[in-house]
Each structure stands twice: as C-alpha cells, then as structure tokens.
Amino acid sequence: MRDRNSNSNNSGRREFMRTGLAVAGGLALPAGFASRVLAADQPPIGTWPAGSQGDSVFIGIAVPRTGTYAVQGEDELKGYELAVEHINEGHPLIKAISPKTKKGVLGKTVKYGVADSAAKPNDAVQAQQRFITENKAILLTGSTSSAVAVALNKLAQREKVLYVAGISGSNDTTGKDCVRYGFRQNFYGETAANALGPVLLKAFGKNKKAAFMTPDYTYGHTVTKSMNDFLTKNGGWTMVTNQVSPLGAPDYSSYLTNIANSGAEFLINVNWGHDAVLSTQQAKQFGILPKMKLVIPYQIPFLAPEVGPDVTEGVYAATDFWWTLEDKYPLAKMFVEAFQKKYNYRPEWGAENAYMEFALWAEAVEHAGTFYPPDVIKSYESPRKLNSMVGEVEWRAADHQLIRPVIIVRGKKPGDMKNKEDFWEVTEIVPGAGVMQKPDAFGCNLGAYT
C-alpha cells in the first residue's frame, strides 16, 4: 500500500489555493473555505450552476466501444440508455428506487453524450474533459477498466464534477484512489473474494493448489491479491503460479503451458472481457479444463455464450447480478422485463450496474433537492436505506462504496438450461456488510468537498 497522505495534503493545499480562482468563465472569488450554506448562495463550482440552469442536464458517458472490453462496454451503454429513458419518463422502476422522482431529475430532462474510451484512461479523460467544457456535464460515468475508473476519479475531483463508476473491480477505486467526487455501486475484488472464498472452501475443501491468471493492471492485481489472501489464510490453499499477462494478449499458450506444468488443481482466471474468453478457450484446448476446475472471481458479461456452457458448467463465479434474481426481487423482475422488451435479450450485470448507478444518482439528487455538488455528495453520504434490484442497500460514507450483496453463481449443465440464456444458477446471495474491508483498510482518503 503506497502512502498517499503526503500527496493528498499537497492536493488539499492546492485545492485551497484554487478556491480563490477564476474558473473558466471567470468570476473572481475571495479565497476561503466554502461553508455549508444554502446552495443558492454558493460560489460556482465545477459545472454548477451553469450545467443545470437550463431545462436539461448533461451526463458524459465514456465506454469502450472498440478494443478488448468492447462487448461489455456496449452492454453497459444499453443500461445507461435505459436508465435515462426511465428517469425522463418517470418509470415506476426508477420511482421505486428514487421515490421523489417525477419526471427527469428535479424536473430537468437528462441528456447524455457517448464517447469511445477503448478502455484507455487517456482517451476517457480526453472525452470527459470535452463533455465538461463543451456540454457542462454535471455527471461523469463510464468505465469497464478500473484504470479508467481511477483516472476519471482524479479528473472528477479536479474538475469538481461528480463521477459514478461504471464496471470497476479494483479495490483501489474506493480504496487508495478514492475521491470525494467519486462513487461506486458494484462489487469489487475484496468483496468478491470474501464472498466466493467460503463457497469454494465449502465445495472443495482445504489445502488445494491454485494457478492464477492475472491481467497486468490494477484490477487484476487487487482481485488476485484479495482472492489469494482469503484462500490461503482461511483454507490453506497455495498459489502455485501466477501468470500475469498484458491486457489484450493475443495468445495464452505460454502462460497455459506453465500452468499445465504447475500441478495446480484449480484455475482461477481473473482475466476479463475478451481476454477471459480467449484464455478460457485456449485452456480448454490445452487440456487444462476440465482437468482443473475453473473459478471466476469476477464474472464477465457474455462469457458463457462465448465460450459455451459446456465450459462454464460447474464453474463458480461472483457477480453483481444475474437475471434469474427476478424470481426473488420484484425490482429485478421489472428491470429484466423492461430491458428485454427494449433490446431483445436479458441483461448482464454490466447493464444492471449502469442502470443502478444512474438510478441511485437520481435518488441522491432528489434527496438533496439541488445539483450543487457538495450537497449531492452529502446526500450520498447521509445514512439511509435504499431500494435496489438486489434488496436493500446503503452507501458507506467513508469511502463512497455501496454496501450491497455479492451474488454467487454456478454454471449450469447444458442439459439443465431452460432457455438459451439460462447459463448460471444463483447459489448464494451474500450480504455486503460482512464481506467488505474496513473503510480505511486500503488507504482511502476522500478529498475536499470544494
């Protein structure tokens, strides 16, 4: 864990200096600490009030539409689009999550713009900067890669515009790279490990040997670490090898050969997106599967259809959502129905995550009664129970992570599938509070409000 304290002190000092500045459009301000008064009396901050003065507000969305995570990015985008549609029309599902919503957010229509991030932080930052200056975006979102989420966290904090994460599995997003202006609703490495770990131990026992495949960036390293820590501490498992591969590797034969010769009994594949598809397919070609058991700590939308149910049969995975939850949660049922009607397939968890982020944001704004960012942030941080598609949830103020259950699924036998999307069976719904780390365990240091 790197020491972030000195850095945030510096940025705090610079925030302090910047408080006395002319921002683009330049109104001269007195230096000083902005105290919490009525929003209307506040000096401008970020894109407030400019971004919400008209009859619409703008959201900047950056998803990968090309590259390794393109498939998941498109799915995520559909979730966002459905959410915007529902918010603008005051759909019952949105009202169930955000009771004060009538039409739009505080009566304003929600508009948005989409840019291709190609899972590259640089491209995402560029696009969002444009959305901020040109469209006066009041909310930023989008990420399928945690590297993007971290970069946008920092951008949001600098520009003083709220950011809600898209898919982001790294511990760092609400850990050492957390920011006051950033929020995340989905599950992540630590919660996945703590939820999935006991299930694995129960199903397979102790003292097993595992081979890990890790993509070489923040998400991969933190998830592998969390999984490995849990399994070794609590079950005496050993990591016999950790094959670290670059994002977008075209060929896994070298890594798989090393794994085949490692004596492992389990293959824990942390690769994501197309990398997961390819590495799993090749693992099968090399005879590693089904000789070893596959475990997917952080489930990938569309993995099952792409590799085929004969590969995912019996595989344990941790995920944010699966459509069969509609049998248990009425809001999930509404969501799956609405999504299927619009897009002709049942949603994966990327779409659900996107929808939830927007719905929860709408709720936070309505609850605050204003778009003024510090007030919206405080609305997020004020303790209260919220509705979601997986039951009751609530935000944790200390690191802006939503406390929500982790869904454990297991791949179905091809013969047991009732329809062509029935890939997974939900085996457990693990409550969030028990599987999260302590708020300061990962060095989270939220920054200033202004």
Partner 1 sequence: MMRTQRPGRVELLTAIGLVLVPLILPYLGSAPNTVNRILVWGLFGIGFDILFGYTGLLSFGQSALYGTGGFVAAYLLTRAGFPYVWLALIIGMVAAAVVGYLVGLIALRRTGIYFAMITVAIAEVFYFVEFNPLSEWTGGENGLPGVPTPSLYLGFTTIHFTSGWSLYPFLAACYFIGIVVALRIVRSPVGAIFRAIRENPLRAAAVGHNIHAYKLAAFVIAAAYAGLAGGLLGVLQAFMPPEAFTFDTSGQLVIQTAIGGRGTLFGPLLGAAVWLFLQDFLQATLGLGAAWKLVLGLVFVLLVVFLRHGIIGGFVDLYRFVKRRKAPVEPREAAPSPGVADEQAAHAVAAKTAHAQPARRLHHAASDYTGPILQATGLTKHYGGVIANADIDFTVNAGELRGIIGPNGAGKSTFFKMLTCEVPPTSGKIVFEGRDITGMSVTDVCQLGLTKSYQVNQLFNRLTVRENVVIAALAELRGKFKLDMLGSVASIPGLDEQVSSTLALVNLTRRRDTPVSELAYGEKRRLEVGLALASSPALLLLDEPLAGMSPVERGETVKLLKSIAQGRTMIIIDHDMDALFELAERVTVLQEGRVLVEGTPDEIKRNAKVQEAYLGGVHGVIDVDEALA
Partner 2 sequence: MISWSNFVSQLFNGLALGALLALISSGLTIIYGTLGVLNLAHGAMFMLGGYAGYVAYEASGSFIVAVIAGTLFLGIVGVLMERVVIRHFYSRPHEDQLLVTFGLAIVYVEGVRFIFSSLSKTVPPPPLFTGITSLGFMVYPTYRLAVVGIVAVALLALFLVLYRTRLGMIVRAGIEDSVMVDSLGINVDRVFMVVFGIGAMAAGFAGIVNAPVVSLTPDVGEAILVQTFVVVVIGGVGSFTGAVLGGLIAGEIISITSMFNPGYAYVMLFAAMTLVLLVRPQGLLGTRGRE
Binding site for partner 2 (CB under 8 A): 65-67, 70-71, 216, 241, 243-246, 248, 250-251, 253-255, 257-258, 260-262, 274, 277-278, 281-282, 285-287, 302, 306
Query: From residue 232, how far is each of 193, 209, 239, 251 by CA, in Å?
Result: 11, 10, 8, 29
User: Near partner 1 by CB under 8 A, which window of 86-94, 118-126, 365-373, 401-409?
Assistant: 118-126
Q: What tokens appear for 317 in the block?
A: 């995975």
Query: Which DSSP string do the residues of 129-145 spell out, in sequence order?
Result: HHHHHHH--SEEE--SS
Alpha carbon distance 422, 345 (integer Å)? 12
Interface with partner 1, residue 1, by CB under 8 A = no
Nearer to partner 2, 166 or 182 (CB): 166
Nearer to partner 2, 129 or 281 (CB): 281
Q: What tokens appear for 196 in the block?
A: 């999935």
Minimum Å gap between C-beta 70 and partner 2 is 4
Binding mask 170-209 for partner 1 (x = CB under 8 A): --x----x--------------------------------
Contacted by 116, from partner 1, partner 2, none: CB < 5 to 8 Å by type: partner 1
Nearer to partner 2, 253 or 382 (CB): 253
Interface with partner 1, residue 151, by CB under 8 A = yes
Contacted by 151, from partner 1, partner 2, none: CB < 5 to 8 Å by type: partner 1
Interface with partner 1, residue 56, by CB under 8 A = no
Contacted by 238, from partner 2, partner 1, none: CB < 5 to 8 Å by type: none
Q: How is residue 48 annotated by DSSP?
A: B
Alpha carbon distance 295, 213 (integer Å)? 11
Burial category of 424 from C-beta neighbours within 10 Å (exposed 0-12, middle 13-18, buried 19 and up): buried
Determine which residue in the list 10, 53, 257, 382 makes contact with partner 1, applying CB under 8 A. Answer: 10
Interface with partner 1, residue 158, by CB under 8 A = yes
Q: Are 319 and 349 in contact (CB under 8 A)?
A: yes
Q: Are 280 and 290 in contact (CB under 8 A)?
A: no
Stated as kind and residue range, the H or E segment containing 340 is: helix 330-343
Alpha carbon distance 162, 182 (integer Å)? 6
Contacted by 258, from partner 2, partner 1, none: CB < 5 to 8 Å by type: partner 2
Residues contacting 147, CB < 8 A, separation 6+: 119, 121, 217, 218, 219
Cα diameter, the chain: 70
Minimum Å gap between C-beta 383 and partner 1 is 30
Alpha carbon distance 207, 205 (integer Å)? 7
Binding site for partner 1 (CB under 8 A): 6-7, 10-11, 14, 17-18, 21-24, 26, 65-66, 70, 113-116, 120-123, 125-126, 129-130, 133-134, 147, 150-151, 153-155, 158-159, 172, 177, 216-218, 246-247
